Amino acid sequence: MQAGIERLKTFRASKGTKGYVGVASVMLNVLALALPLALLQIYDRIIPNSSTGTLLILMAGVASAVILEALLRVARTEIVGWAGVKFEHNAGCEAFGRIMATPADELERIGAGELIERLAGLPTVREVFSEQWALILCDLPFVFLFLGAIAYVAGWLVLAPVVMLAGFVAFAYVSTRSVGKSITDFNTVRDRRQNFNIEVIHGIHAVKSMAMEGQMIQRYARLQESVARANHMVVQGNSKALAVGQAFSQLLTLVVVVGGGWLVVRGHLTVGGLSACTLLAGRALQPVQKAVAMWTRFQTARLMRERLASLMELPGEPRSDKVPSLKLKGAITLRDVSFGHGEDGDDLFQGLSLDIRPGERVAIAGDNGSGKSTLLRLILGVTQPNSGEVLIDGQPVTSYDPEALRSGAIAYVPQYSELFRGTILDNLTMFRPHLRKSALAIAKDLGLDEVVYRLPGGYDTRIGDGSAEALPRGVIQRIAVVRALAPRPGIVLFDEANASMDGPGDEQLRRYLENLDRHCTMILVTLRPSLQKLGDRLLLLKGGRLEPKAPNPAAPTPYPGESSAAPLRRAAE
């Protein structure tokens, strides 16, 4: 955790920025003495001597000081605010980059809700640590300047604000400790609600298909009640602190006025000195009040900073600043690979070995849960084996730059693909304009033109915010195939990506893959005989091992929407 916090500190303002803020703070706090000292002169010298000319000159000087102080405060706020914006930008990019560089298995373990919460705390961390605290820490030392001015003007009267300020700080420390616990409890229950929301929205089709709306509403109501109670405790604690702060401010003024009035009556202090001390005491209290008010927010920000720092410590894959181009021959070798999730002690694979020559096409079949997708993820390098080696062109898959390997050298086409906010063309090209020509050519061969040109915007039709769900699953799978094949990869890993395609779509995909350049190595995980026949050999994944399997002459797998008899009719034809 400490390493992540230290990493966050590197994004703070530069020494030059801190210097400007420090100089501005000194100047504006010194200028803040102008009004109290002016009152001292007006009451003690100008009024008794009826010096109208001096009064005008003094007022002009004070007005200039007030205007200059206001300008300095605006400038200081702008400097600190801009430093905070840069902090948020740099820290946010670093945190998101860490997420992108983290293995998918680790991200799944953490959970989407937790990752979103960690990123969502960035604005609070910026505001508290890079902006508000910076201004408060700059102003706090000048409390002693104002107290020193009171001591110079009124002597022992300075003890009154000192005692009041000490009492205020002590009370604030005690009260904010209880508020800190309330904030921790609030964040805990809020995280639970956030995770619940994500789970329900992600599985909204399952919820509606099983009429679980009532149960979900009841669960949400219980979570919302916990959040409301915890939030009430936080608000109540903050309200108490605010009320006490206002009370201390009034008591401080009262104590200074009463104490100073007694000194005036005894002849130890002038009326002008009393007026100046009253203003100086208020000035001394302001930074302390701001610090106490910020302390409760600091409790939340500190927790969010720790969460954000944990993102900086996520285990990342080695990446190069400049992604090298990578052209693979296509040889794939697995040597005594064993893999298991470690939950029940059973390995999914045990001593699995496989050799695939460059340009060879291998079809793999297997029951659900046999590990077909995991096998492809091992070859892709996103999952690491417990033992054994995975070699690509004779080199360990981990020796390649991950981004270079997966951005065009190896194409992985999953069964369930996601579309991203943007146009259909953006999703076909993976937001890489140079792939436009290749992607459109493949889309035409797969029959996407017939579907897309019916849409109002064609390939420029925007999708996102749930609009992708309006597209048939088979169309989404064809889009996924296009974006995987557009970079002309040397290896294609096909993971039942035609499971939702209709008959014509499946046939167009089969023809395209059949005519694909033989320089491309292909692993086809599929249960459909139409694609299994494309393989130079057919393997069966069973019991953690790969075994040769003869093509199955049984009836073809039904296409989505067909009856079980339809494949038999096609086979008979």
Architecture of domain 332-572: 3-Layer(aba) Sandwich (3.40)
Indicate the pLDDT class of residue 321, thresholds 50, 70 and 90. Answer: very low
Is the pLDDT at 105 greater than 50? The verdict is: yes
Residue 446: other Cβ atoms inside 10 A? 24
Provide the mean pLDDT of the chain: 81
Give the residue, 568 or 11, on which the prediction is more confident.
11
Strand positions, DSSP E, 357-460: 361-366, 387-392, 395-396, 410-413, 422-423
CATH of domain 2-312: 1.20.1560.10
CA 277, CA 213: separation in Å to the nearest integer?
A: 65
Q: How many other CB atoms are there within 10 angstroms of residue 114's CB atom?
A: 17
What does the alpha-carbon distance between residue 128 and residue 513 come to, in Å, rounded to a whole number? 56
Q: What pTM does this model have?
A: 0.69
Whether residue 268 has pLDDT greater than 90: no
Given the structure tokens 């769900």, which residue do they identify?
Answer: 469
For the chain, residues classed under CATH 3.40.50.300 are 332-572
pLDDT at 216: 86
- What the block records as the tokens of 188 is 């805990």
Tell me the sheet residues that pair with 333: 355, 391
Q: What angle do CA 87, 91, 94 make, to 5 degrees?
A: 150
Phi, psi angle pair for 388, to nearest 5°? 95, 180
Token pair listed for 272: 């002008």
- Residue 346 near residue 541, CB atoms below 8 Å: no
Rounded mean pLDDT of 132-146?
A: 83
Angle formed at CA 134 by CA 128 and CA 139, multiple of 5 degrees: 125
pLDDT digits 0-9 by tens, 57-90: 989 999 999 999 899 988 888 888 888 888 888 8
Residue type, 312: M
Give the Cβ contact number of residue 372 at 10 Å.
21
Average pLDDT over residues 101-110: 78
| Token couple for 251 | 């008591």
Q: How far is CA 389 from CA 83, 372, 392, 394, 415, in A?
A: 48, 17, 10, 10, 26
Statement: residue 557 has pLDDT above 50: no
How confident is the model at residue 317, as a pLDDT? 65
Taking residues 222-236, what's their average pLDDT? 87
**Pair 524, 371: CB distance under 8 Å:** no
Q: Are 476 and 494 in contact (CB under 8 A)?
A: no
**Which range, of 60-74, 229-243, 270-284, 535-549, averages the lowest pLDDT?**
229-243
pLDDT for the residue 71: 92
Residue (of 500, 492, 541) closest to 364 by Cα position: 541
The DSSP annotation for 209-273 comes to HTT-HHHHHHHHHHHHHHHHHHHHHHHHHHHHHHHHHHHHHHHHHHHHHHHHHHHHHTTSS-HHH
502-521 residue pLDDT tens: 888 888 888 888 888 777 89
Q: How far is 176 from 172, CA to CA, in rounded Å?
A: 6
Which DSSP category does 1 fall into? -
pLDDT value of position 9? 62
Question: Would the pLDDT of 199 be above 70?
Answer: yes
pLDDT value of position 344:
54
pLDDT value of residue 238: 75
Average pLDDT value for residue range 475-491: 89
Read off the pLDDT of each residue in 538-565 and give the average, rounded to a whole number.
63
CB 32 within 8 A of CB 66: no
- pLDDT tens, 335-388? 988 888 655 556 788 888 899 999 999 999 988 878 888 899 999 888 888 888
For the segment 442-450, the average pLDDT, to the nearest whole number, is 88
CA 130 to chain centre: 18
Instruction: Say if residues 386 and 457 touch (Cβ distance below 8 Å).
Output: no
pLDDT value, residue 3: 65
